[in-house]
Structure 1
């Protein structure tokens, strides 16, 4: 396979990942604008670092790790600057189809708010495994923790979510 074909395939696969990357970014950032910025920064970094990706390995896990590291860097930078961003969720529903079931949207909002209240480590585990569908081993590699640690975080996260949603006392 020549370099041009390999580059084209890389770009196609990266483009196909965009919906999943945006969802993961939203889980990390908890804010739509920050999530969009994070997604863009991640794609830029992936394109610049294309040569460091090993052909034949999972592109999604590689890009998710880039996104997670990018987010950690952003949180650290914000902390150093001592700035707090508290954006209103203005326009969050702009452009959504009007035929969606309102009850489902309310419930989805409840889940999103409950997810946002989880500690960062639990939210990360829940989003990677339950939302993005990564295997425990893959999610642990993305986060950079042992599989047992991920399993513990996921269990605590599930329980906290159920408690937040009123499913358990």
Structure 2
């Protein structure tokens, strides 16, 4: 384990992009994701003394954020509708054909990711995007490691089925790349 003597607030500043990315994957709304991240940061600062220095800071923060999301979902059962990720703004980037194709692929993968069941999406984001180990993901989600592996395999298979894009970024033969 890397010896990190930074305080919780100092670690939070460096970790904000990862936390926001996970929040968006959970709630599909940049505005709500920002609110969740802010609440997670506040909770982490208030509970800084409960953070075990020998544990992973990212896993601790992902768990806090996920718990806040679950609380939000419970409260939202009686509330009104939420905003879709489809309403999010454009992805900035330079002009060009390569960027356009990459943008379309990204939109396609994002749309496919959002079609996955929540339990598959959570595991996929934590393992493949946030680079948590299977064990750390299992701890964050409070599930057995075998369940993590099973959900991840199903999520990957479903993404290939939905997009036709394999793990190497290539389109499978005979696919047009559209979502059904």
TM-score, length-scaled by structure 2 = 0.82
The answer on whether the counterparts of 1:32 and 1:92 sit within 8 Å (CA) in structure 2 is: no
| Deviation, structure 1 residue 89 | 4.4
Query: Bigger relative contact order, structure 1 or 2, given CA contacts below 8 A and separation 6+?
Result: 1
Counterpart in 2 of 1:50?
48
The structure with the largest helix share of the pair is 1
TM-score, length-scaled by structure 1 = 0.87
Counterpart in 2 of 1:17?
15
Out of 72, 75, 83, the residue aligned to residue 86 of structure 1 is 83
CA separation of 1:116/1:91 partners in 2, compared to 1, >3 Å: closer, same or farther?
Answer: closer
Contiguous gaps of at least 5 residues in structure 2: 166-171, 176-180
Aligned-residue CA RMSD (Å): 2.0
Looking at structure 2, the residues matched to 19 and 91 of structure 1 have their Cα atoms a distance apart, in angstroms, of 17
Looking at structure 1, the residues matched to 89 and 48 of structure 2 have their Cα atoms a distance apart, in angstroms, of 33
Alignment length, in residue pairs? 161
| Deviation, structure 1 residue 91 | 5.5
CA separation of 1:131/1:88 partners in 2, compared to 1, >3 Å: closer, same or farther?
Answer: closer
Contiguous gaps of at least 5 residues in structure 1: 1-5
CA separation of 1:87/1:163 partners in 2, compared to 1, >3 Å: closer, same or farther?
Answer: closer
Looking at structure 2, the residues matched to 153 and 91 of structure 1 have their Cα atoms a distance apart, in angstroms, of 27
